[in-house]
Chain A
Amino acid sequence: MSFFIWLESTALSEWIRSSPSLWGFPFILYLHTLGLALIAGLSSAVALFIIAVPGPPRRPPLGGLFPLMWLGLSINALSGMLLLIAYPAKALTNPVFYLKLVAIVAAVGIVRWLERRFAGLPAATSPSTAAAALSRSTLPGAAPAAAGSAPDLRRAAWALLGLWLVATTTGRLLAYTHSILLASFAEFM
């Protein structure tokens, strides 16, 4: 608790919380939404592509989207850190926050796995070359990065969508489920 009280008393924490400037808390919140659209939005679109666009195996040349996803993740790590500095006790004493973090870590792991899958195998330019690549990858002794096939991708895609649903829901519910807003205020209670 004393750590939270100290953090809340820092100039940065106070500025984010109480500055009347739109560049403070409002803009940081906006960045968090923008980052969400990039990492969760674009990777969900890739997941939907795997699930819904026919033509096995699904290894579309979507690699160019991943740098934008990582940009979104960076924006959200930074803006999330700033929001945490503003109200450390609010999030860190709330179990829902940890559920959100676990969902994000798992989702990011899947995004990274998808990126490696897309990069590790030759781009599917036609169904025949794609089928050849798939049969190679299922041979005994094939490189681990190339192991697995379309069902793997579909499972990963569904898991990713589910994890983003959990992450956005728990993230939104943080505003409603905290028991402490400010540790320095709770001390007086």
Chain B
Amino acid sequence: MSMQALIEWLYASWPSHLVNDYRWSWPIAESIHFFGLVLLTGTVGVFDLRLLGVAKGVRPADLHRLLRFGIAGFVLLVVTGLLFISGAPEQYFYNRAFHLKVIALTLTGLNVALFYGLEFRTVKALGPGDDAPRAAKIMAGVSLTLLVAVMLFGRMLTFFRPPY
């Protein structure tokens, strides 16, 4: 499927009509996107900060329980994000900030996979006051950096839009 065909297919889809045909659907989806951001960055951020030594009195396993709310936030972000893309695909596909955001999200996914593959068992067993292993700290630092980068590129989307 060529890029043009993909764009036309997306424009013809029902999510595209949902966000384009009703005056308030795009603003409401944006509001949900921001609340998803609050849930995701808050829960992931607190977990990463604990691994880096902030609020060390809490067991990482207790903070890890919050990640289900982070996942709920992520679902909100993905669903509304896909709505935006279907609503104006060429505004994203030809947008440098969007490309960078997708790269940062992919790196985040790899970092998450590495963390669960290599460090999660050790981290889960840590007690209050325990230091996280160095590798887990590095992954937490990478996670926070990518979180900040994804927000930066997301916020920059508006300013790198191709002309209509």
Please determine whether A64 and B56 come into contact, CB atoms closer than 8 angstroms.
Answer: yes
How many residue pairs link A and B with beta carbons under 8 A? The number is 112
Which range contains the number of B residues in contact with the other chain?
35 or more
B104 at the interface (CB under 8 A from A): no
Q: What number of A residues sit within 8 Å (CB to CB) of B?
A: 37
Chain B residues closer than 8 Å to A34, beta-carbon distance: 148, 151
Please determine whether B159 and A61 come into contact, CB atoms closer than 8 angstroms.
Answer: no
Bound CA span A54–B36, Å: 24
Please determine whether A41 and B41 come into contact, CB atoms closer than 8 angstroms.
Answer: yes
Bound CA span A33–B156, Å: 11
Using known A-B contacts A62-B55, A168-B38, A172-B34, determine if residue A48 contacts B45 with beta carbons closer than 8 Å.
no
Secondary structure class of chain A's binding surface, majority of residues: helix
Chain B residue nearest in CB terms to A60: B58
User: What are the interface flags for A144-174 relative to B under an 8 Å C-beta threshold, 1 for contact and 0 otherwise?
Assistant: 0000000000000000000011001101110
Please determine whether A164 and B46 come into contact, CB atoms closer than 8 angstroms.
Answer: no
Please determine whether A68 and B43 come into contact, CB atoms closer than 8 angstroms.
Answer: no
Contact of A164 among B30, B38, B57 (CB under 8 A): B38
Binds B, one of A7-15, A22-30, A127-135: A22-30
Interface positions of A from 25 to 58, Cβ below 8 Å from B: 26, 29-30, 33-34, 36-37, 40-46, 48-49, 52-53
B39 at the interface (CB under 8 A from A): yes
Interface positions of B from 139 to 164, Cβ below 8 Å from A: 147-148, 151-152, 154-156, 158-159
Binds A, one of B8-16, B61-69, B85-93, B108-116: B61-69
Interface core residue of B27, B35, B40, B42 (most chain A CB under 10 Å): B42
Please determine whether B31 and A40 come into contact, CB atoms closer than 8 angstroms.
Answer: no
Contact of A168 among B35, B43, B151 (CB under 8 A): B35
25 A-B residue pairings within 8 Å (CB atoms): A22-B156, A26-B155, A26-B158, A30-B152, A30-B155, A33-B37, A34-B151, A37-B151, A40-B42, A41-B37, A41-B40, A41-B42, A44-B42, A53-B65, A60-B57, A61-B55, A61-B56, A62-B58, A64-B54, A65-B54, A125-B57, A168-B35, A172-B30, A172-B34, A173-B31
